[in-house]
């Protein structure tokens, strides 16, 4: 039965929220785990905080980038559910485990090269040795990130079972805090291991999280139709990689741009770097919502394509893009009006020694406020395009927008025009605006004619 436009929008909005809210909550819990680790390490000494914080951030950055390739499974599963090909979904699910194992290979070699990055930045040999040993421990947590938790968290939205994230993620956040505290400080009978205790606690948490996610998911009676029978179809690896690897490159392009900007901010002095970190931390926090909406758009557009309802796929995509843009626009207004209040969440605004950092941070936050809409738009539009199985062209958009435009202009504004840290963010903002326009225009182009949507679905 064909729904009227208002009825469809109301129903689809509910479906998007049902998927997105648990994802956003899970992502915020993930951030809370990082904050907890930082606080616990900081109470040992600043060297422990620096080594543990840097190595942990590098580990999860690389893993998250490679993990994004697994979202190709969600695209195919949602499409198959839409087309009622339920009996074939288990093949996609189990074959994605093989894909995850394959991704572990480049992940391992990238993470093992951590010491070369530290050598390049001129760190002392003692710090390099400690960071290398810390990473060696964390590497035991790589398989559950890519093959376990990462995979389950990707497919749950496609199964319309995102609420499982609400049941498990808060528990694993608490487990992580308790294990880190136990092994760092030697509490509750655990050995006192300081820096390396954090790595052990985090690694155990990753395995516990994987066991819980897989166990709970497989115990749900309504999900068994998607998970069984057990069958691996290696011929599916090619479509999974063809969809997933461009997504991986797009994610890497964005995350590496922000990492490179952090290095550049460091060249501008301590105050500039501190101000940059404040803005970056808050921008990352606010982006969790459009990121969740993006994953919902991915699933919903794929579902409607599979159901052979191209008009619904188009409307769902634009509804998601509009939702992400409106939310980020409201956040932008709040940031623009209350930048000093936001800065006060990170540092003492009454300290005389912090005044330079505060002034720079306020200027950067106002730039952040102005690009919130385009940041939300580009994030969700990229997700909607993935729902159409369009990942290669958006990857090219990402490389051009983030690096040819964003990175180049950031350096020009910051160093050539001497706008310093605010200049770095102005360049990035322009890059984000470009990809927002390109991705949204691409989605419009692909959905302008319904036949074009179905042609892509048959590929």
* Spans of all domains in the chain: 15-232, 247-459
Pick from 376, 395, 389: which is nearest to 250 by CA? 395
Pick from 230, 219, 224, 201: which is nearest to 164 by CA? 219
> Which pTM value belongs to this model?
0.91
**How much is the pLDDT for 251?**
92
Tell me the pLDDT of the chain (459 aa) as tens digits: 566 777 888 899 999 999 999 988 888 888 778 777 777 877 776 677 777 777 887 888 888 889 999 999 999 999 999 999 999 999 999 999 999 999 999 999 988 887 777 677 666 777 778 888 888 999 999 999 888 888 898 999 999 898 898 889 889 989 999 998 999 888 888 888 888 898 999 999 999 999 999 999 999 999 999 999 999 999 999 999 999 999 999 999 998 898 888 878 878 887 888 888 888 888 888 888 999 999 999 999 999 999 989 899 999 999 999 999 999 999 999 999 999 998 888 777 887 878 888 899 999 999 999 889 999 999 999 999 999 999 999 999 999 999 999 999 999 999 999 898 999 999 999 999 999 999 999 999 999 877 767 666 666
DSSP, res 413:
I
CA distance 144 to 244: 19
* CB environment 327-364: b (16+ within 10 A), e (fewer): bbeebbeebeeebeebbeebbebeeeebeebbebbbbb
CA distance 312 to 345: 42
Q: What angle do CA 388, 390, 392 make, to 5 degrees?
A: 170
CB 427 within 8 Å of CB 414: yes
**How much is the pLDDT for 332?**
94
CA distance 100 to 308: 30
**How much is the pLDDT for 121?**
62
**How much is the pLDDT for 217?**
94
Q: What angle do CA 376, 151, 173 make, to 5 degrees?
A: 75
**How much is the pLDDT for 74?**
94
**How much is the pLDDT for 1?**
56
**How much is the pLDDT for 59?**
87
């Amino acid at each position: 039965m064909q729904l009227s436009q208002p009825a469809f929008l109301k129903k689809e909005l509910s479906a998007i929220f049902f998927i997105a809210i648990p994802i956003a909550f899970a992502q915020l819990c993930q951030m809370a785990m990082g904050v907890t680790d930082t606080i616990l390490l900081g109470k040992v000494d600043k060297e422990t905080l620096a080594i543990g914080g840097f190595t942990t951030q590098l580990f999860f950055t690389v893993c998250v980038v490679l993990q994004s390739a697994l979202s190709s499974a969600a695209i195919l599963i949602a499409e198959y559910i839409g087309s009622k090909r339920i009996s074939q979904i288990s093949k996609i699910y189990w074959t994605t485990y093989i894909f995850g194992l394959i991704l572990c290979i480049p992940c391992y070699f990238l993470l093992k090269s951590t010491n070369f990055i530290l050598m390049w930045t001129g760190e002392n040999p003692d710090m390099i040795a400690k960071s290398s040993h810390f990473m060696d421990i964390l590497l035991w947590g790589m398989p559950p990130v890519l093959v376990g938790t990462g995979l389950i968290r990707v497919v749950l939205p496609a199964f319309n079972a995102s609420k499982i994230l609400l049941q498990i993620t808060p528990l694993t956040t608490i487990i992580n805090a308790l294990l880190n505290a136990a092994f760092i400080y030697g509490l509750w009978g655990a050995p006192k291991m300081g820096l390396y205790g954090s790595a052990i606690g985090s690694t155990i948490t990753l395995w516990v999280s994987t066991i819980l996610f897989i166990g709970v998911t497989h115990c749900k009676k309504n999900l068994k139709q998607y998970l069984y029978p057990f069958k691996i179809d290696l011929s599916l690896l090619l479509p999974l990689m063809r969809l997933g690897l461009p997504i991986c490159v797009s994610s890497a392009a964005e995350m590496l741009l922000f990492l490179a900007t952090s290095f550049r901010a460091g060249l501008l002095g301590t105050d500039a770097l501190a101000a940059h970190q404040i803005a970056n931390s808050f921008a990352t926090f606010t982006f969790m919502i459009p990121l969740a909406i993006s994953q919902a758009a991915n699933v919903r557009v794929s579902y409607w394509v599979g159901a052979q309802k191209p008009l619904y796929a188009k409307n769902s995509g634009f509804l998601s893009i509009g939702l992400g843009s409106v939310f980020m626009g409201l956040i932008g207004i709040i940031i623009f009006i209350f930048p000093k209040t936001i800065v006060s969440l990170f540092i003492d605004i009454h300290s005389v020694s912090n005044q330079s950092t505060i002034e720079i941070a306020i200027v950067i936050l106002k730039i952040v406020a102005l690009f919130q809409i385009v940041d939300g738009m580009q994030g969700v539009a990229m997700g909607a395009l993935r729902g159409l199985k369009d990942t290669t062209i958006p990857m090219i958009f990402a490389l051009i927008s983030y690096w040819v435009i964003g990175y180049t202009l950031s350096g020009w504004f910051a160093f050539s025009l001497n706008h310093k840290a605010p200049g770095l963010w102005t360049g990035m903002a322009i890059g984000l605006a470009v990809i927002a326009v390109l991705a949204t225009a691409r989605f419009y182009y692909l959905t302008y004619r319904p036949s074009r949507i179905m042609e892509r679905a048959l590929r």
